[in-house]
Amino acid sequence: MVTGHEAAANAPNAGEYVVHHLTQLNTTGHVQSSIVDFGIINLDTVFFSLLMGVLGLFLMMRVVREVTSGVPGRGQAALEVLIEMVANQAKSIVHSEQSRKFVAPLALTVFVWVFLMNSMDFLPVDLLPWMWQTLTGNPHAYLRVVPTADLNGTLGMSVSVLLLCFWYNIKIKGLGGWVHELFTAPFGNHPLLYIPNFLMQMIEFLAKTVSHGMRLFGNMYAGELLFMLIALMGAAYGGSAGLTGPLLWIGHVIAGTGWALFHIFIVVLQAFIFMMLTLVYIGQAHEGH
């Protein structure tokens, strides 16, 4: 009984466990207090997104180095299927051959990168944080391993897409043409409508970008959270009396398996949606209102 009390005092309760897991490892070493602070960088997000990006490029480069126009190997066939899929989507959405030279590879990068970053969710939720805590010797060290479950990661990408939209708007329509469009569309070319038009355009850009980033973030954040709750259910096994313990353990196995399987689908789907929206928004930048 005594040891049980001590363990309960030392072990974090469910709320602490979740909050701890959802705290980024940033340059300050403690929880960011203000909502927006550009003096801080989340080291874990930067590290894992870079790692996944480099891993994706490395895997693709391995295929590219042995690429052949003859009979393709399995790796090449797989990459070709992926590239054909992306190229066809790009062709049907972005109607500019010149732009596609950059936009299509960009869409491929986005898909592969987001897919790999989302896939970090498949690792046991406590594995990498535990390794990190062991490595640093600090049992309270923070670490979040899914870069797309960090709003900075997803908004960073959606803002990049927004910047590309600005770039292609200016490139295709000219600066004057674009400014003209900003004030005359979508309601019409009338001096009274200039302000509503411009406000509408701004809202549109903002809504696109925020929803683009938030959609992916929300899905991955919720997925991560659910994995933590499932892990908590399994962890409660030790402290429960009677049948409750084994039932919790079985619940952990069933829920963990089910959610992991479903999450495979979410990971791919969200990567695909992110890629498609990237193409759609850039495609819209090519078309007049």
Residues annotated as catalytic are 211, 215, 219
Q: Is 176 in the site for another protein (CB under 8 A)?
A: no
Closest to another protein by CB, 156 or 196: 156
Q: Taking CB under 8 A as the rule, does residue 35 contact another protein?
A: yes
Please answer whether residues 274 and 212 qualify as being in contact, where contact means their C-beta atoms are separated by less than 8 angstroms.
yes
Tokens at 275, concatenated: 């890629």
**Of the candidates 1, 2, 9, 61, which one interacts with another protein according to CB under 8 A?**
61
Please give the C-alpha separations between residue 185 and each of 99, 203, 277, in angstroms, as whole numbers. Answer: 23, 13, 22
32 binds another protein, rule: CB under 8 A: yes
Which residue in 163, 175, 206, 222 binds another protein (CB under 8 A)? 163
C-alpha–C-alpha distance, residues 161 and 111, integer Å: 13
Distance CA 274, CA 216 (A): 7
Per rule CB under 8 A, is residue 90 in the interface with another protein? Answer: no
Which residue of 7, 67, 195, 247 would you call a contact of another protein, by CB under 8 A? 67
Contact call for residue 84 and another protein (CB under 8 A):
yes
Tell me the number of residues near another protein by CB under 8 A: 54
Q: CB of 232: closest distance to another protein in angstroms?
A: 20
Residue 101 as a binder of another protein (CB under 8 A): the answer is yes
> What is the amino acid identity at position 249?
W
| The one-letter amino acid at 73 | G
Could you give phi then psi for residue 26, rounded to 5 degrees?
-115, 180
From residue 36, how far is each of 18, 33, 151 by CA, in Å?
22, 9, 11
The answer to the question of residue 39 lying near another protein (CB under 8 A) is: yes
- Decide if residue 77 touches another protein (CB under 8 A): no
Is position 15 an interface residue for another protein (rule: CB under 8 A)? no
Q: What is the distance between the alpha carbons of residues 221 and 238, in angstroms, rounded to a whole number?
A: 27
Instruction: Say how far apart CA 17 and CA 133 lie, in whole Å.
Output: 14
Question: What residue has token string 């190229």?
Answer: 87
**Residue keyed to tokens 């009396």:** 241
With contacts defined by CB under 8 A, name the span among 53-61, 176-184, 223-231, 247-255 that binds another protein: 53-61
Chain residues binding another protein by CB under 8 A are 24, 26, 32, 34-42, 45-46, 49-50, 53, 56-57, 60-61, 63-64, 67-70, 72, 76, 79-80, 83-84, 87, 101-102, 104-106, 108-110, 113, 147, 150-153, 155-157, 159-160, 163
